[in-house]
Structure 1
Amino acid sequence: LVLKASAPLIDNRGKIIGVLYGAVLLNNNFEIVDRVKEIVYKGEKYQGIDIGTATIFLYDLRVSTNVLEANGRRAIGTRVSREVRQAVLIEGQSWVDRAFVVRDWYITAYDPICNIEGQIIGILYVGMLERPYIDLRNKVMMTFAGMAGLSAIILLIILFSITSSIIHPVKSLAEATKRIANGDLNHKVVIPYRDEIGELAQSFNQMTENLKKANQKLLQWGKTLEKRVEERTRELKEAQDSLIQSAKLASLGKMAAGVAHEINNPLTSILLNTHLLLESLEPDDPRRESLEMIAEETTRCASIVKGLLEFARQSPPKKRKTDINSLLLNTVKLLENQAAFQNIEIKKNLAPDLPPLELDSNKVKQVFWNMMINAAEAMPRGGTLAITTRLSTDKNDKKHVEIIFSDTGIGIPKENIPKLFDPFFTTKVSGTGLGLAVSYGIIKQHKGNIQVESQVGRGSTFIISLPVEKEDRRQGGSHE
């Protein structure tokens, strides 16, 4: 195996006048492999054996190596194993694994040596003696095993000593606990010790006495308190849910306003310049399709920004007396001829003589609009949208007008219902998740509420409840 090199000879005029050619025979030349061992492994030995070795193979035959045979001679002329020969010489892959080299196990790496034409003509090998690591592993394992065994013995001795001194008092306390749990509140624990266990026994007896007194009071108040707690818990949960939702809307509103203002101007600039570029292009220009896509997506982003701004503003409602049925009919009239409602039958069941409500008609119309649009999107193949109004009275004898939107669409999974009014929550591909959040905020501004009932595959019902102010409880309204 020969390592060759050549370089051109150039005169002072830059002309090539010859070639300088040199070669080094690697067979029985140990300078390279010994230099590798010295640099990488620094001549370290373990039990008289070199930790690291290096070898150069001519095809599968060792021609230069510092791997020693049992007699101390270099293992020149020995061959590589069958597995390494197959992987490196035949398949041309590197081979890294533990291997038995001449007389010891090594952690080895073999890489093919190729000539200038890319043909594999040999192998370069480096290896580290495995025995130091095996011995260290065994030593560490024996040390840990000894420490674990000794620790276990010490712990058993300590545990036996401690449990012997407390097991009897603990048994007495356990027995007393069982008797008290069975209702024997007159039982006392007798433990003669004055240590912590004795103090525990005294506290236990005092606790039993207190339980006996408290039990009599609890029995008297139990039934009444249970009913009160249930009612109060329900009220607190409703109040807490409302506060959490309001806080989320307020926080996200501030964030949304900032984000919307920051990105609105760049979007407007992108959209304007895109349309200008489209006007300057020929109809068959290959760039037109990409620009149209940019314009479409920018327009969609602009609508999202618009929704963010609407969500963020939450301006106070400008209330005036409004006939809720007339407001509904106007909204239906605007929507029922749109394409999304062509296959949808709208049924109106509006209660007559509903009292007029103090509300911001534009804001509430936006809520009705969102409800109807969502219902249409839930019925892509058509269906029925039923709109109902009615007067109801809650448990506190307060009157409310309820507006009910019921569709026969795909329904809403049960786990999604609590998240419907969260900003940015949507299950639609093109939705922003702001419509219901904005609607929820508007209804809350009017001191109302929205409830949702839904079954997957059967449809959904949204119930909007708006309070009737005392001065507005009078006859009026239109019906159909």
Structure 2
Amino acid sequence: MRSSIRIKILGLSLAPLALTLATLIGMTSYWVNSYSTDLLDRKVRADLSVAEGFLNILKQQDLINLKQLSLNQQLQESVELQKPARISQQLYNFKMLHRLDFVRIIPAAKLSERVLKEPSLGQIASQVLAGNADAGLQLISPDELAFIDPVLIEQVRIRLLQTPMAQSTERHFEKRGMFIRALHPINNVKGEMIALLDSGRLLNRNNGFVDEIRDLVYRPGTLPDGGLGTVTLFLDDVRISTNVPNKNLPSPSGIESDPTPASRAVGTRVSKDVYQKVLVKGESWVDRAFVVNDWYISAYNPVEDLSGKRIGMLYSGFLEKPYREIHNQTLLNLTLAFVLVAVISVFLVLRSTGLITHPIRRIHSVVQAVKAGKRQRIGMMDTQDEFSELAEQFDTMLDLLEERNRQIRQAADVLEHKVESRTQSLQNKTRELEEHIRLLQATRAQLITKEKLAALGELTAGIAHEINNPAAVILGNMDLLQVSLGDHAEDVEEEIELIVQQVYRIRALVNNLLQYSRPGEYTQSMSPLNINQVIEDTLLLVRHTLEKENLEVKLTLQAKCSAQANVQQLQQVFVNLLMNAANASQSYKTIHVRSQDWYEGDSLKGVIVEVEDAGKGIAKEILPHIFDPFFTTRDNGTGLGLSVSYGIIRRYGGDIQVHSEQGHGSIFRVYLLHQARYNDSDQATTEQLLATLSEAQRKR
């Protein structure tokens, strides 16, 4: 649709403004998004550094405390004097004071024996023997915990929970424990090591540890409303200590930011992407990540044990949703501001363009009136500018155009009168010529039809003579053969009967050929037939061919109604369809032959016979021509089988239909009436047969 000059001027005025504002919004959105993403990444990376520092402080603190215990004079004396009761009491007091999960003393003489039973102890005992006390993270198996403290076996056990986006696993429980483990030697006054102090702080379900880091990193006011900061320690990919809430579990306190042990996501697992990058590749992850059941701005670092092996991850992160809402609200505010500026600009531009568009609209209204056939002029304009001069020149042009139109109409009237008189004469001559052509074409068609029928009669008479004589000879010789064989004729009686039947079938075909050429003089006898029996008899005729091609025929014969037809002609149709199906199917396939009653509504009309092959189907462009005479897709085919079959069924008042899809085989359906309506004036069939015989005579 054409737009008005007012809209165009408005567009030209607002386009730069709209482009500028859109660019500004895009740049602002990009800058806010980039800056926000970078700022959030920096914050979560700093939060993770604080968590790692806190964990390192815990390690060093446990080592310092253990060192102070090793210097305790009373403990040294108890070890040297071998007083187990005093040692146990002193270790118990130390354990309760520093909230450790186990503290023990391993005599130097038994250290080698313990190392054999506790492989994790052997990883760091060598450093202690070399005089280097150490503390760090270490995994301890249930078998080793049985030597240290059997009570800890159940404390470290964590059930694994189904977690979205985590990689699949066949484990159901995590039975290992992650400990902050510290070892320090106890030396006598001579500087000789007399025992080894071993302490451990269990991190499985150590919620106080992660909550303390969270409270340190995510103080009130550090996150927006609705924000949630979380810290997690992983053993491999399993959360063993976390304050990440699991929304799929009940929260007794009802406070999402302070989950109770029952609602913490302990036992859930990290997403597959984070697992591959952090635990498998050993790289840090600073990006958004799916944590249990929501998206968080997250930072992950691998955690290593005292031997430098990656055993888990340390995570710090906060909910992405509040920041995303702030970002979306900012974009919404910018968009609203743009809309407001655009509305104000449109209002101002419309007022400014009114002085230009008013004269243009006046000129446009006059143009539309003149176009509609009215006599109208612009007249004097209120403004003394280019539009006033344009209006004056336009009125002058309209006056000249009106005079020229009057002269043209006068000349057109004279010319129209002459054209009408000449046209009427030409139309009369044309009608006479068309009538002569119609009569000529009708006469020509009659002559061609008579010539074809004459040639057809001559050809069919010759064919009948040439075929009937050999057929009579064959029948006579078969009778002679049967008499000559005598009693031995019983061995080949079935084959002799089959030959005789086929000879009679040849005679019937010759009679059919005569019927095509002289349908008014020759009528094939018809009778009610049991279609199922006809199909079974037909299969005997093609049995050897089908067995040779390794094809199986599956019969589903359910028709109960009889059909009126000639048995030899009907067998000819079924033989053609079965042979076509055999040629189309591959070896070791099945050809389905089905029969059923033919109903239209509640009325029983006759029988339907289906022949379904297991071939490649018929192409769409070929399908309309399969019943044409001499049309075939096989090198050794004649193209007459389907054409003749179609003519036979149509003569009975029935029909043949085809359904085929390439790659899915073909189904030929034969419709036979219970009471045949013999049709010897089917124009389509007659023309088809005439063309067939003419082509055959030409080739001969």
> TM-score category by the smaller chain?
0.3 to 0.5
Answer 1 or 2: which has greater strand percent.
1
More helix by share: 2
- Could you state the TM-score of these two structures normalised by the residue count of structure 1? 0.36
TM-score, length basis structure 2: 0.25
Structure whose CA Rg is larger: 2
